[in-house]
Amino acid sequence: MSFSHFISPFKLTFFILHVTFITNAHTQNPKVSAVLVFGDSTSDPGNNNFILTPFKGNFPPYGRDFPNKKPTGRFTNGMLASDMIARYLGVKDNVPPYLDPSLTVHDLMTGVSFASAGSGFDPLTPTISNVIPLPRQLEYFREYKTRLVAKLGKTKTMEIVSNALYIVSAGTNDFVVNYFTLPIRRHKYTLPGYMDFVMNNEMDFIQGLWNEGARKIGVVGLPPMGCLPIVITLFSDDALFDRGCIDFYSSVGRAYNSMLQTRLNLMQVSHVQEGARITYLDAYSTLYDVIVAHKYGFKEVKRGCCGTGLLETTVLCNPKSATCPDASKYVFWDSIHPTETVYRIFFESTRSTIDYIVKG
């Protein structure tokens, strides 16, 4: 009887992919010096564990499928895409949180994440959950450089900084948690005006990274926000029975992503003589393919694995919450965040773009 008799083709495919990219990572020389990550819960491996905020994921069932079943603060059942990218590039197995006091010099040299779940480019967004704003994450990066200079010297530090891969992943909270849910920004900005406001803040942040020595930057776009279970629950006219994506909210993501690609291209062109590779990473298409186009055969695309999957996230998804038996069949782990399987699909879909950013 064949091995495939005991494992579905869907799982077998991802098992092969998983083994392949881990093997590649450990048999090639690293293409970059480090992986440095900024953003929100899509790239926070546990920085929020070390600050006073209710927005944490350092308890079960988060981390259920992480090595040793450890809840690290990642808002998913296993690894994040940034962990997979670091493994693929041969830098390290997982990207740790910068605020972890146990980090070694080697940990710092090979990359950390400054991201904070709940953050965003609008200065108001991180205040809602008392998390780390993007400008503060940039300050931490400056502090990071100072720490490396003290240990390694300025020349070695700048070599690491200039050859690192930078990942920026934020923006969803600005719209879902802030603009669409709370009245403050809607009273001040039209939707197009708010999109411009967030975009300008994002460009300022990326320029700030550039000014600090970043040269290889991947910027993740917005997902189809109308397909997030929490958005359907909060904004659908009949959320219990009609769990289809709400295209209005997804259309905002499409429009913003189009603007983002244009602005990144302009920034890339303006810095190309200085060795810039500033590139868009497409999260929208990945989520659209798995949710709307049903390309990957997920069993459940409309609710998360944790609890009812309709509204639970952070403390509402807790040790007392029931969870689905096999998270790999679900697009979402909780009502906002993808499962490790979806992060892996995103990683695979952006691998050629990552290769483009880091080459040369």
Rounded to whole angstroms, the maximal C-alpha distance in the chain is 66
Nearest C-alpha neighbor of 156 from the set 96, 86, 213: 213
Determine how many CB atoms are found less than 10 A away from the CB of residue 325. Answer: 7
Nearest C-alpha neighbor of 98 from the set 110, 87, 86: 110
Q: Is residue 122 annotated as a catalytic residue, yes or no?
A: no
CB 98 within 8 A of CB 86: no
Which of 33, 41, 43, 82 is the catalytic position? 41
3-state secondary structure of 168: strand
Q: Is residue 5 annotated as a catalytic residue, yes or no?
A: no
Residue 275: both structure tokens together: 């060795």
Distance (Å, whole) CA 171 – CA 202: 8
Measured in whole angstroms, the distance separating CA 142 from the mean position of its chain's CA atoms is: 21
Q: Is residue 337 annotated as a catalytic residue, yes or no?
A: yes
| Side-chain-side CA neighbours of residue 303 (13 Å) | 17
One-character DSSP codes across 294-331: --S--SEEEEESBTTSSS--GGGS-TTS-B-S-GGGEE
Which of 44, 122, 328, 337 is the catalytic position? 337
One-character DSSP codes across 13-79: HHHHHHHHHHHHHHHS--SSS-EEEEESTTT-SSGGGGSS-S----STTTTTTSGGG---S-SSSS-
Which of 40, 44, 83, 334 is the catalytic position? 334
Residue 314: both structure tokens together: 């952070």
CB 340 within 8 A of CB 76: yes
Determine how many CB atoms are found less than 10 A away from the CB of residue 118. Answer: 25
Active site residues: 41, 334, 337
